[in-house]
Amino acid sequence: MKNISSQHMQAKITPEHLRWAQSVDKTLQGGIDMGTPTGKNSAGVYNTFDVGNSSGVLIRVGSNTSSEAVKWDGTGAVTINHGLKKQPIGFKIVDKDATVDVWRTAVPTVDVISLKSSSATVNVTLYIF
């Protein structure tokens, strides 16, 4: 099936439908990203990210002794200011340097998500959405 560019449809549909068609076109062309890495830590692991065009954010959480901006406290707890301006649905671990389990300790709010780790010495990258 041949894709018809949303630009060809511009003169034939309403502005609302055009925005929808452009969104579908972008998706079909592989234009969705979770975030773009902007920096690495001393170990060479990405630890800072620009927001992508999806509905979440990538955040690196460092071990309690790391130099990361966000890190677990001595008990493995952390409260993250996620910046979504909405209550997150949840989170996924997208990178880790050891075996770890991470869970919510409270209902997330439009500003923060509170998490606990089974190990305060593990570094993880989370996708909060």
**Whether residues 99 and 118 fall in one domain:** yes
**Whether residues 20 and 45 fall in one domain:** no
**Whether residues 22 and 42 fall in one domain:** no
**Whether residues 91 and 110 fall in one domain:** yes
**Whether residues 80 and 116 fall in one domain:** yes
Distance CA 23, CA 91 (A): 24
Which pLDDT belongs to residue 23? Answer: 75
Enter the pTM of the model.
0.75
**Whether residues 17 and 42 fall in one domain:** no
**Percent of the residues in the chain that have a pLDDT greater than 70, as a whole number:** 91
Give the burial string for 90-112 (b: 16+ CB within 10 Å, else e). ebeeeebeeebebeeeeebeeee
**Whether residues 20 and 51 fall in one domain:** no
**Whether residues 43 and 57 fall in one domain:** yes
In tens digits, what is the pLDDT along the chain, a chain of 129 residues? 555 665 665 567 888 888 788 877 777 787 778 888 999 998 999 999 998 888 899 999 999 999 999 999 999 999 999 999 999 999 999 999 999 999 999 999 999 999 999 999 999 999 999
**Whether residues 48 and 69 fall in one domain:** yes
Which pLDDT belongs to residue 119? Answer: 97
Residues with Cβ within 8 Å of 104's Cβ and at least 6 positions away in sequence, in order, are 90, 113, 114, 115, 116
Structural domain harbouring 120: 35-128
**Whether residues 63 and 76 fall in one domain:** yes
**Whether residues 103 and 80 fall in one domain:** yes
When divided into structural domains, the chain yields a total of: 2
Q: CA of 45: how far to CAs of 62, 104, 111, in Å?
A: 11, 25, 26
